[in-house]
Amino acid sequence: MNFDKKKYIRNLTEYMMDCWEIDLNNLNDLDKKLLDIRILYPVDSNSVAFTSCITLHVCIDALFPTLSKSIPKREVLDEPVNLLALGLSWIDPTIVTDKRVQNKVGVSERVIQASLFCAFNSLLPRLMMCLLEIKGEGRTQLDLMIVDGDQNLVAYSLKCNKISSTDFEKPIDQVQIYASHFEMGVYLVNFFLSGHKPPSDLDNVSEGIIIINVKDN
């Protein structure tokens, strides 16, 4: 598979398990192939989706950069902020800055999510791993969870361009639900554009919710 085809499928992973609109009567050759081999399936006459979470994870693992060797368990950082920084340092900038996968303003949280998923799973030693789209309360899904066997270690919820206190209201409410459901602290990671207004300082954030603002250059 050539570079352009890999890039095309990688961009589709931004939809995660959501469906997206497509004209099934006017498919390109690659879309036809993806439907034929059951990577995608038709949801209805005007939309498609990945056939399963497993299929989505295989595509992410195959198409996003990974490291050839994990770091030893003794070198895994216990501090979640440093672990996040380490994961971000291994993301290929050309993926998150591609205009076709960016939001109207800045980076897409789903591209960051997929990139961190691959980076963490490349970095973490055996038995430790990063899980994607973890089922929470009701129909909610947490973005990323670092686990060691049966032990949940670190939970991350990713957002982009939350600046005002009003912007943060719904994300914080959601993270509170995650914290209660998983009975652990949750890191709300907010990516904002360099050169723009920085996020507001927030008061009275509930215990167990840690907000990390990451400047997107």
Domain ranges in the chain are 3-61, 69-216
| Nearest in space to 2 (alpha carbons), one of 30, 31, 41 | 30
State the Cα–Cα distance between residues 173 and 175, nearest whole angstrom. Answer: 6
Residues 122-173 have pLDDT tens digits of 888 888 899 999 998 888 899 999 999 889 999 999 998 898 989 999 999 9
The arrangement of secondary structure in 3-61, i.e. its CATH architecture, is: Orthogonal Bundle (1.10)
| Nearest in space to 6 (alpha carbons), one of 123, 138, 95, 105 | 95
Mapping DSSP onto H, E and C, the string for 166-195 reads: HHHHHHHHHHHHHHHHHCCCEEEEEEEECC
Q: Is a pLDDT exceeding 60 seen at residue 101?
A: no
Please, how many CA atoms are within 13 Å of residue 119, restricted to the half-sphere of its CB? Answer: 19
> For a pLDDT cut of 70, what percent of the chain falls above it?
87
Contacts of 37 (CB under 8 A, 6+ apart): none
Residues 187-212 have pLDDT tens digits of 999 988 877 777 888 877 888 899 99
